[in-house]
Copies of this chain bind each other. A is one copy, B any other.
Amino acid sequence: MSENYTNPLRTAVLGVTGYSGAELVRLLLDHPRLAAHSPLLLGRSGSETVALTSIHPQLSGLPNADSLSVVPFDLKLLVDEKIDILFLATPHEQSREDVPAAVAAGLRVIDLSGAWRLHNDANRAVYKLHDADPALAAQLQTEAVYGSPELHGEQIKTARLIANPGCYATSIILALAPLVRANVIDLDYGIIADAKSGVSGAGKAPTPTTHFMYAADNLSAYAVFGHRHTGELLEQLHLDASQIQFTPHLLPIPRGILSTIYVRLAQPGSILNIQSLYDEFYANAPLVRIRRSPALPQIQHVVRTAFCDLGFQLSPDGKRLVIISCLDNLLKGAASQAVENMNLMAGFSQSEGLR
């Protein structure tokens, strides 16, 4: 399907006011393979046209940024403009509402929200979704590809609808997928994923918990059981709910996630074996970096990059493994992973425009 794009790719972004949307626009403006006026920027249908730099003054001076406007969403406009790929960086309710018509109109869609990530109805219940056309939504849901290039690269290339993964989920899934695939975890013991995220993960709306006075000089756990990214872990790692415990925390930093993941190995291992297993799994993954023990990932190494860094420590008896996984929640956890998906859909190199 990638042969469609002998011409420069034409993209559009619906939802540019939030943090992920702004990062996505920045990446697309800088991308070497897009059409001259790409991306087309879209606000809610019926909204007023405004200059991009009036929303994000920090983007002024970037190539083309000062001439870009955000226009109201209109499917006809997208078709007329021959948009190839539409990104949505919108709340999940809006994604669930706008995606079916967009796909029906022939657009390929990359949705950054949680609307289409979960195939199991029970898992998806946390999103409280209401579909105008439940049958169509169910069919699209079945077709939607979970946009993890490391796990589903082949399917992504030809997909019509990509559900871009959650930020916490990406950090944990990339840390565990090689072990799960190799079947080396003793799942009877359960996996613990203790994750910590910067405040941008909580969104741009001013709330009591995003207030500087709450978040600064603080650390707090939340959603100790039942965070809605849990469903992604279960489905992508083929686990049941008793086999993994995921607890998020709010870090006093703007961006970045560090997940500390504790597993028990079925057989005592060595750190070299573990690293080999990851090296092999990620041999063709340009945006996953494997750290050599005793070096470990840290948040500063990944912030404002498209990388996920993974590192390991093993107990002296070789039975207990701790995996540290770091990424930038707005990039590998959102916008740059969306661009990876676009690259694969368009037949570009996976990391085009991301290093």
The distance in angstroms between the C-alpha atoms of A253 and B218, with both chains bound, is 7
The distance in angstroms between the C-alpha atoms of A206 and B144, with both chains bound, is 37
Specify the chain B residue showing the minimal Cβ separation from A304: B304
Q: Which residues of A311-345 have CB atoms within 8 Å of chain B's CB atoms?
A: 313-317, 319-320, 322, 324
A211 x B211 contact (CB < 8 A): yes
A247-272 CB mask vs B (1 if < 8 Å, else 0) is 10101111010101010100000000
A77 lies within 8 A of chain B by Cβ: no
Looking at A81-89, A132-140, A194-202, the stretch in contact with chain B turns out to be: A194-202
A58 lies within 8 A of chain B by Cβ: yes
Residue count of chain A within 8 Å CB distance of chain B: 71
By CB atoms of chain B within 10 A, which of A213, A286, A291 has the most? A213
Copy tally for this chain in the complex stands at 4
B58 x A221 contact (CB < 8 A): no
Query: Which of B217, B225, B307, B316 is close to A316, meaning CB atoms less than 8 Å apart?
Result: B225
B217 x A300 contact (CB < 8 A): yes
A190 lies within 8 A of chain B by Cβ: yes
Query: Which of B215, B245, B253, B355 is close to A62, meaning CB atoms less than 8 Å apart?
Result: B355
Specify the chain B residue showing the minimal Cβ separation from A220: B298
Question: Given the interface contacts A206-B206, A213-B199, does A289 sit within 8 Å of B258 by beta carbon?
Answer: no
Q: A219 CB to closest chain B CB, in angstroms?
A: 5
B199 x A301 contact (CB < 8 A): no
The distance in angstroms between the C-alpha atoms of A134 and B220, with both chains bound, is 45
Query: Which of B61, B196, B207, B313 is close to A224, meaning CB atoms less than 8 Å apart?
Result: B313
A212 lies within 8 A of chain B by Cβ: yes
Specify the chain B residue showing the minimal Cβ separation from A316: B225
B61 x A298 contact (CB < 8 A): no
A-to-B contact residues, CB < 8 Å: 19, 57-58, 60-63, 189-190, 192, 194, 196, 199-200, 204, 206-208, 210-222, 224-225, 242, 245, 247, 249, 251-254, 256, 258, 260, 262, 264, 286-287, 289, 291, 295-296, 298-305, 307, 313-317, 319-320, 322, 324, 355
Extra A-B contacts (17), CB below 8 Å, given A58-B301, A62-B355, A225-B313: A58-B305, A61-B286, A61-B305, A204-B213, A206-B206, A206-B208, A210-B212, A216-B253, A218-B256, A218-B298, A220-B296, A221-B324, A222-B296, A224-B313, A245-B320, A247-B260, A262-B262
